[in-house]
Amino acid sequence: MQYKSVSPFLENVLIILILSLCIVVWVDRWYLLRYEGNIKRGLKIWSKPLPLNNLTYLNALEEDVVELYFDDAPQKKAAFIRKSNQEVVINYRTLYTTSNLWAYVGYVDLRSRHPRLEFRNSFFVSLCSAIILFIMIFGYAPLWVIGISLIFLTMNSWYEAKMIVYFLDRETNYYPEKKDTSSLKVKANDLSKNAIKNK
């Protein structure tokens, strides 16, 4: 059986749609990871109870924690804990994880009766991943392909959550005994060099 080829017009439309979707996904991921913008961002993937020591630290935090990639590039923030109106967003990136499309940020609503640490991903990245998995499963893709995809997504989710918890625990333990929140602002050359060593 011979199939009719797709017309050039439909091919061009398909290419434009794919390119547009890639741009939307990239922009949405950029909004997720940037320092500025809304505190609550992205789509909640899963959450866990917030330990008491982390909760105490975040409640007392009065100044954002910011860590840079390079000393001479203050606009390139590698990691930060930003708090506003009793909401907290946590992002932890290193030079080795900046290109991860399935990056997570942490989010905590301190106004909640029982605050939880939420792990949130880009909405459009999650949507595209779900659509691709749906097509693979109902399009009768090989089971090993589906299995590898699910393992990859699970391992990525575990790693991203681990890095957020690591960063929050590190800053909680760094919190000075005098409770002087003015000293909580982390400079680029302070703890960033120890981040990888302590993993």
Instruction: Give the pair of three-digit tokens for residue 123.
Output: 């909405």
Average pLDDT, the chain: 81
Residue 180 pLDDT: 47
In a domain, 75, yes or no: yes
In a domain, 3, yes or no: no
- 71 near 189, Cβ under 8 Å? yes
In a domain, 121, yes or no: yes
pLDDT digits (tens, 9 = 90+) for 152-186: 999 999 999 999 999 999 999 986 543 444 444 44
d(Cα 12, Cα 23) in Å, to the nearest integer?
Answer: 17
DSSP, residue by residue, 36-92: SS-SS-SEEEEEEEPPHHHHHHHHH--S-EEEESSTT-TT-EEEEEEEETTEEEEEE
In a domain, 1, yes or no: no
In a domain, 159, yes or no: yes
d(Cα 175, Cα 44) in Å, to the nearest integer?
Answer: 28
Our count of domains for the chain comes to 1
pLDDT greater than 70 at residue 28? yes
Reported as a pLDDT band with limits 50, 70 and 90, residue 118 is very high
pLDDT digits (tens, 9 = 90+) for 49-100: 999 999 999 999 989 998 876 555 555 677 899 999 999 999 998 766 666 7
Residue 5 pLDDT: 58
Name the residue range of residue 134's domain. 8-195
In a domain, 2, yes or no: no
